[in-house]
Amino acid sequence: MEQITLYKIAYKGLKGGSYDFDFQVDDALFEAYDRVEIKGGRCDAHVDMKRSDTMLELHVSIGGEVICECDRCLEDCPVAVDYEGDLVVKFSDEIDDYDGDVMWISPSEDYLDLTQYIYESIVLSLPYRRVHEEGGCNPEMLASFGQITEEEFERMEREAEESDQVGLDDTNRQILEALKQQMEGRD
């Protein structure tokens, strides 16, 4: 992973109290994570931070738009990002842990690095299904998938989602995964 220094807070020199920070998220962040889930995009991240002797309490809001692969036509598809979350940062030389809600850093660190937190929060905020709005898919791509019509694909996806919810043995999901792989193989 490339080194990104953009999403760091120099908390050391700050006295106890409340602060806020703004970060611009752009393609560089998604490139650093090899564009696996997200190909690119632009978001604004706003951080409200409360500094005390023993911890930092952060409230993070992220809004904007990212580019994902459309589940239906596999072309680039804009997806809105709207995330709100809390992060507690504690200091310790013995513990080096991060579970998404609590992050431990060494008191000798000069900066709090939010790169991973911001990236993961954006990924977590994405909907399960990422598709163009109705009629927005590339018709040539859809046609090139042959016998699978848009309606058929959607019906199978719907059934897969429903069977997920009731916890049934989902044959459709396996078929859907196989179809998706087939489609990806035609890139």
Which residues bind to Zn ion, rule: CB under 5 A? 70, 72-73, 132, 137
Nearer of residues 60 and 72 to Zn ion, judged by Cβ:
72
Nearer of residues 70 and 79 to Zn ion, judged by Cβ:
70
- Smallest separation, CB 67 to Zn ion (Å): 12
- Smallest separation, CB 160 to Zn ion (Å): 18
Contact 38, 10 (CB under 8 A): no
Nearer of residues 102 and 160 to Zn ion, judged by Cβ:
160
- Smallest separation, CB 44 to Zn ion (Å): 26
Nearer of residues 29 and 68 to Zn ion, judged by Cβ:
68
Closest CA to 41 of 52, 58, 28: 28
- Smallest separation, CB 183 to Zn ion (Å): 12
